[in-house]
Chain A
Amino acid sequence: MTVTTRPSRVAPAIDAPVAPVEAPSSGQTRIGRGAAWPKRREGPAKLTGEALYTDDLVFPDAWFGHTVRSTDAHARLLEIDLDPAFDWSKVVVVTAKDIPGENLVSLIADDQPVLVDSEIRHYAEPVALLAAPDRETLRQASRRISLRTQPLAAVFDPLESRQEFAHFALDKGNVEAGFGEAEVVVEGTYRVGHQEQLYIENQAMIAVPRPDGGVTIHGSLQCPYYIHNALKRALRLSDAQAVVIQAETGGGFGGKEEYPSIIAIHAALLAQRLARPVRMIYDRHEDIAATTKRHPAIIRHRTGVTRDGRLVAQDIEVVMDGGAYCTLTPVVLSRGTLHAGGPYNCPNVRIRGRAMATNTPPNGAFRGFGAPQTEFAVETQVNRIADRLTISPLELRRRWAYRIGDETPSGQTLRESVAAEEVLERAAESAEFERIHGLTVVGRRERAERAGSEPKSNVLSSAAGRTARGIGLALGWHGAGFTGSGEVKLASVASVELTSAGEIRVLTASTEMGQGTKTVLPQLAAEQLGVPADAVQIAPQDTSIVPDSGPTVASRTVMVVGGLVLKAARRLREMVEPSTGRPFAESYRDYAREHGGLRVDQQFEPYPDTNFDDATYRGDAYPAYGWACAVAEVEVDLDTGEVAVRNVVSADDVGKAIHPLLAEGQIEGGTLQAVGYATIEEIKLVDGRYLNDRLATYLIPTSLDAPRIDSILVEQPFSGAPHGAKGVGELPMDVPAAAVVAAIHDATGAWIHDLPATPERILAALHGIAPPPLPGLSTTSTPSSEAPA
C-alpha cells in the first residue's frame, strides 16, 4: 500500500457554483455567434478539473469491488471454488445466495440474474463479487477464486437460434400485387456487427450504506430511476432506502441506460455486507468485455420499382441478435422495424422483424436504438437501386421521400413537420452533391475505358493512381421520443420551483452526460419566466430530491421533459403575476418573501391526436419525426483499401433548435460515431467472447480520422410540443454510414453490404476474393464448425 496524502472530501456538492465567466464578444470568429445562448452550465467546472466524476469522489474507508465473470459462453455452474491457501478473512465474497431480494435485473423480461445461480448464458457474465480494502488484496483474491463449470452447447448465430425475444410485423397495401407491377426487382442482404458506445469515462458506481438500512448510489448513469427500481427489487428496499445520485457523467450514448443497474446492485450488495462504502469502478477492458453493445443485425431487402423509377413494393426482413438476455431488445427491434422502410412513400410494404437470443453478452441501448442498423440497409438498398436505374440518388429520393399526407407502414398519416425534402435539398446543395457526383461518375467511366482489359480497375483515381474519391448521400428519419404509447405509460413529471429563499430551480431526473441538459432545461424555464438563464438553478439528479421525469434516452429530454419544464414555468409565472401585479422577473423575490415557496409539478399529457395500438402495431408510432440527410466524401486507397472520410454535410430537422451550439455539437458527435460505425468499429468474437476488448484493439476515430463535419440545422416545428422541438441526439447517427458506403461505391465501383467497410472488405469486393468473417457473428475455435467465410 502506498502512502496516501489525498485530502479527504465529504460528499461533493454536485452543483457547486461556478466562477463567473466573461461573455465573449460576438463577431470575433464564427464562433462568436454563440454569445446569444447561455454557456454550458457545468462547463467551467469541466474545464478546470473541478467537476467530480464518480471515480473522483472520495469516501473514507471505502473498499474496492470486483466482479468475478464467467469464461464460458454457455455452461452449468457447478461450484465457485475458493483457494484454501488464501486468507479469505481479508476480503468478502458475495454470490447469488446472498441476494436479499430477487436475483433479477430487468427492464422488460425477468430473465437476467444479478449473479449467476446455476446457468451461465454468456461470456463475462457476473457470477460472484469480491471486495477488499485495497486494490492489491483484491487482485490477489480474484486470482484465487475459480469457477467449476460443465460446458453446454452454445448458439452464436441468430439465424440458428430458436429463442425469440420479440417480433413485429408491419403491412401496408398488397406486396404481391406491388411486385407484380414491378419491372425491376432489387435484392440485398446487409449485415452490421456490434458497436461499442465507448464513452471515455468507464462505468463506475459507488455504494454507500445508509443509516436506514438502505443504500445511496453515486454513479455514472443516464437513468436514476431505473437504478432506483432495480435496487428496490434486488435488495428488497423501500423507496426511501434506495437513493441514486448521478455524479458528473463522462458520456453515455445509451451505454449507461441499462447496464448501470446491475453494477449498482453489485456495489450495493457488497456495501450492505460490509457496512461500508464500496467502489465498483470498471477499467476499460472490463467495460468493453462485459457491457452492452449495439445489436448486430441481418437485414434482407427485396424492392420492386418501375424502369422510370417508381417505388412499388418493399419486402424487408430484420433479424437482430439480442445476446443472452432480453434487456431492451424488444424496444430496439421495434424502433428498428418501424424505421426499416426508410423515409419513403411506398404503396405496398411488408416488414418483418425478430430478435433472437444467442450465447453472447447482451446487446442494448446505443444512440439510434435499432434505427442505424435498418436505415443503413434501406439507404444502401435505395442507392443500389438508383445505380441500377441510372437515376441520380438525389433525384430518386426527391420522388420517393415522405410528404405531408403520406402514410407510413404502421398506418400513420404524416400530418405536419415533414422535412425530408428540405434536409435532402439543403444537404445536397451545401455539399454540391450533383456537381461532384457528376465528376466522379465521368471520371470513373474514363478510368475504366483507359484501363481496358484490367477488369477490377474501374475506378476514378488520383494522378498517382493510388487513391479514388467519391461522394455519397443518404436520407433518414427518426421517431421523436418513446415509441407508441411509451410516453403515456411513463407519465413523467418535471417541476419548477420558486423556493422560499426566492430562488428558481428546475427539478427533473434528466441527466447531463454531455448533451446539455443542465444548460437547456434552465434556459427553457428562464425564457418563460423572463429571467436570465443563470437565475434558474437546476436541482441535482438525486432520486430523493427530483421527481421521476423518465429516463434520459430516446432523444426525449428537450422535446418531452423540456416541454414539461416549459409548461411548469409558464404555470408558475401565471400563479405569481396575478398576485404581485408585476412581471414575474421583477416580482418573484417579493412573492417568495411574502408568500413562501411555490412548486409546480407538470405531468406528461398525451400529444393531441396521437394514437397507437400496441397489440396490432398500428397507428401513430411516434408523435413526430426528425429528418436527416448526410452527404459524405471519401478517398479510398486502392492499394490498401483504407477509407478516409474527408467531409460530411449533415442537415438535421430537429423541429426547433433551443440551443443551436449544443444542437450542432450533437450532430457533429453523432456523425463521427456513424463514420466510425461505417469504417473501423467492429467487435470480433471467438467462442462468444469479444476478441478486441481493449482500446488498443477496438478503435474509434481520432481527430485525424474525423472528417470535417458541417451541420445544418433545419427547423420544422412539431406543434404538439410547446417549443416545437423534436430531439436531436440520435437523428445524426442514423444515416451517415450509408452515405459513406455510397461514397465508397462512387469512388471504387464496389458495393459494400457489411459494416464496417474495412480495408479487408473493400479489397475483397474490388478483387472478387473471399471477404473476412461476417460482422457480429462469433467464430468458434473448433475448426470443424467455423463460421462460413
Chain B
Amino acid sequence: MQSSKTLVTWVGLFVFIGIGGISFLAIHVSNLSANFSGSEGYRLIARFENVGGLKVRSPVTIAGVRIGRVEKIDFDKNRYQAVVEMRINSTYDTLPEGSSASIFTAGLLGEQYIGLEPGGGDEFMQEGDEFEVTQSALVLEEIIGQFLFSKADEVKSQ
C-alpha cells in the first residue's frame, strides 16, 4: 500500500473531479443557470387563441434575440383563451406599449417561441402589462385543411 499522504491526495482529487463533474452537468448541460437568471426581470402577459406547441421555458425573442422565457401557460376558462406569462430580462425594459406578440416556429419541425414586435406607443411596458395584439401559433393541420378546401372550391368552380 502506498504511503497515506499520496493516498489521501488521490482520494481528494477523486472527490474534487466528482464534484466538478456534477457541477459541470448542472451548469453546462442542464438549465440550472437559466433557472437562476429567470427569477429576475419583469413579467408580461399575452393572450392567445392557440399556443400550439409552446412550452414553459420556451424563449421569448425580439429581432431574433432572446430576451426572456415563458414562465407559465394557463387557460382562461371565461374567455377560452390561453394566458401566457413571460419573464423578460430587466436589461430590456424599453418595450413600447402597443407591441405585439406572435408565436413562431423555429424551422419546419423546431421548437416554438414567442416573437415580439415593437409597437409605436410612447410609454414602456411595465410589470404585469398585457399585449394587445397577439398572433396565435400556426397549426399545420389547420393550414393544410384550409388549403384542401380552397383547392376543392377551385376544382368545383372550373
Do chains A and B stick together as partners? no
B-binding residues in A (CB < 8 A): none
A-binding residues in B (CB < 8 A): none
